[in-house]
Amino acid sequence: MSQREKEISGKIAELDKEKKILEGTRAYYEQNLSYAELEEITGISIREFKRFQSDNEFPYRVGSYNKQAIFDKIQNRINAIEAEIVKLRESVFGALDQLLFIPSWQTMIDSSFNGFYLNQPVQKIFQDTVILLPELAMTGFEETTGEPYFLITGLGMYWVKFELGAGSIVTDYREITGIVLPLDIYHRAQDEAEQVLKSENMRMTEYMTSIPFSLILAKSTTQMYLRGVISRNIFHPYKESFDQFMKLCKDPNSFNPDEGLKILSGGLTSDKSFYGNELLTEKPLGEYSRLIAGIKNTQPKLNKILENLQLETMSEALFEKLVKIKIEFSEIGRNYLIDWMPGHIS
């Protein structure tokens, strides 16, 4: 970590602590807690709370006459702190926010489809991972049934390792610019799945892991612990896919705006009207459209989803942001991952 990053990390830690004290102060008033109870809940000393109240002119207790004004004061400061933290992180990472990793696309969408490759049936899939640098996330509704789905756009890749015939092991990939899922599948992956790790710094379930780049600004003890968890569960067992993703992001010809968005669609709505386990594009793309293991087909059907989300005129603007993410990942994020996990990413 550079000196500048250390300074920003220290400032963020100070702001996080102030936010925690503010939230504790609000709980102190709302729940009529004692200072001892507050210390036990937050881990912040009674002396610090009293000094904070005194320095910021918070009363010992609130009544009906000043309660709302005090709560507004607390919330306004929390909002300001959160905005300042965002600016500090953006000063280091720019458009980079997090790395989204799905260890098995088939497992997450509950599919057993192996598919075909070079006109041959795929015998077995060993790994089918998705790596994504998210940019935009939003909920839409299927036009016919009204069922909700969740779209995440970003810079990404679908990577698969599989067997063709006896002993013929093949790897291949497709660049993608997002994923779209029925909302129930997304919630299952995020909220209902077994939690491998859940902390204030990152979240890892059996189906999906979000690794914020701001981890590089976390305190060293936190980083050391999370490095071990991420290394064991992600970077080491899925090294091949990360190596390919690094190469893809360095390729000057990758993620060509002229080809439009390419969204990996998973799962079906109740009436099977949603595009299940397909690559959706804005236009026919020739070689990109050839079959790949684990995916049923590639269809130029993406415009319908973009229209439903009122994004049909925003494809160019979305791609401008994706290009920025690609540049910043190549210049900043890639090096962070290499430094953070030496020996696991080339």
Q: Which residues pair with 211 in a beta bridge?
A: 99
User: What pTM was computed for the model?
Assistant: 0.74
Q: Which residues contact 45 (CB under 8 A, 6 or more apart)?
A: 39
pLDDT for residue 269: 47
Tell me if 202 sits within 8 A of 217, measured CB to CB.
Answer: no
DSSP for 49-114, please give it.
HHHHHHHTT--SS--TTTHHHHHHHHHHHHHHHHHHHHHHHHHHHTT--EEEEESBHHHHHT----
Among 42-51, 81-90, 271-280, name the most confident range: 42-51
Measured between its terminal Cα atoms, the distance across the chain in Å is 19
> For the CA atoms of 57, 60, 64, 66, what is the dihedral angle to 10 degrees?
0
Among 91-105, 207-221, 243-257, name the most confident range: 243-257
User: What distance in Å separates the CA atoms of residue 176 and residue 182, rounded to the nearest whole number?
Assistant: 18
Q: Is the pLDDT of residue 320 over 90?
A: no
pLDDT for residue 330: 83
pLDDT grade for 142, boundaries at 50, 70 and 90? low
pLDDT for residue 176: 95
pLDDT for residue 165: 80
pLDDT grade for 197, boundaries at 50, 70 and 90? confident
**Interstrand relation of 262-265 and 168-182 (parallel, antiparallel or unpaired):** parallel
Mean per-residue pLDDT of the chain: 82
Domain segments of the chain: what residues? 3-93, 98-340
